[in-house]
Structure 1
């Protein structure tokens, strides 16, 4: 009969040079029997939510890290008892959170060093040495109040309102990555922005017709879909919009195809996943790709491949009721276009003043790559197609 041994599973290298992840939730509990490749936990990297499969089959002996804790690659997170003749390994104590007042920095604890040969999932790289300590998300006063011990049954329930307190939230995961990217872009690329008001009445009418088209059944078609298609067509005549400044090699890269980024607001922060070679897609294929990409980003299932490799992006600030803005470039991209809210306004139409649907397009660009003439011509071309959108839709 095989003896039992205790195996430790360390947080693996999830790729893209990411050195830490936050344990979002455990999918198993102590005492559970797990199979090989069964999902143990869901973790959040700086780019996406990732499910961690078990490299062992056995019984969960100990969960070493609580949900909400950020740990470095190579840190043991769970101990599993397996049928093995090898001697057991003593697990380190779990990382204990220390509750503090929001006005005081959280106390951090350092886990014991992992064993010399930590478990590594197939396809993942080796662990990355790091001196950073696990960080525990600060719990708010409202959470503490909700989990307080109730009053005795014989006493009247008259809880006093909790006093107002400052709230400290650690910056991690997607929000941390977004902040770093925006600072990098803002202070490395000289931004310029141009705005254009466009009559999109015909585009909105076309959207309604397209929603009934049999080729688009089950696909979400919006004004942003038409904007994306118009941008892809305008880029054919404005290659500078789809380029990159390569300072390391003193050169400019003009991309053969468009990695189209779609800015998506999620509960975890702003994500900009991309559709690779979007310019090669038909309108129906583009609409379907956008629908799937946004759904993946909002559910936290966007892959690291989808969250990299962009060359031009669009963002819809109109969904928040905003007329226009000055979007910041995703790092390494030459331009980003923002679509503002659609407003019913008096507008000159066919020689008369009529009530029309008008939206503002805002194009921010890297002035090293795109000059004012190029940026303006591109924006006018997009606006013209949205005013008369017949040429925007091609199903072939």
Structure 2
């Protein structure tokens, strides 16, 4: 299986930092030039596009030979991704309009967009925790980097390309790691996980991972952004730029912690993990105006992705089940009715009278359905949320 590791570069001088930034700008301007040619002449295959633009972008943007090749590949990969999204219908509720707009103009790259590097133009020295990297100012050797101890261990298995990324004036390298994937074991049952907004995750064991803290944090961030946007001053813009990714990092860290806890619980008890298949949930669910921000900031897809890849690394089987009526069906007698769900937090079965926390009841239903899916053989079905 493939995972990515991010390390932070620490350029020794302003000259080195400027060289890295200038290289990104030149590569992405070259990518935009190549993208225009690819769109105008319908040259989406790598070899064909490279023959058409290689010498031009290499001369006009002062790129090295291998960097020009990487630029062409980046453009072709972007068009392949766009084509795949169009074919799969992953363009949101206004898919036809977005498809028309996407096909009518070339792909555009930001000047600070990531640039791929291969081993010819990027060399890692793990012993010294440094890299040697090609730039417009020549090859810069011995740029130190920092990362976690776990990331350092993973870098020993690094293969393929690494992406140079600039965020808020800081530089990062994102490396691809190839790890052996253990075979999933035969589960002794399933741990059902009900995902939600009020409670981020609730397990069939009755453990509730509340989302109150995260929701309050997001509300504070929205209030802060609103106040700063009203000021319209340069200092306010600097603060907005500094905090714009803070919320996403905080939510991702929360999801990582929850995913790790879920996988550890399942692995310790020799169970699999059953999740709801929430594909297209944002298009199916309607929300009041005051609830839209909470619905659209709900990172259920990210949490599901984290659970899946952590489970694959541990050999824990994961299945996805139909989410219909999991909140209305009694997990004890299977009676299903909308009135069983009394309110957001309480479930009272109108048939057998059992009283449960609503999310706990839903997670028990998910666990039952996970067992049924496993018995039918539909294992490890990938999520499309």
After TM superposition, is the score higher than 0.5? no
Question: 1 or 2, which has the higher helix percentage?
Answer: 2
TM-score of the pair, normalised by structure 2: 0.24
Question: 1 or 2, which has the higher strand percentage?
Answer: 1
Bigger radius of gyration, 1 or 2? 1
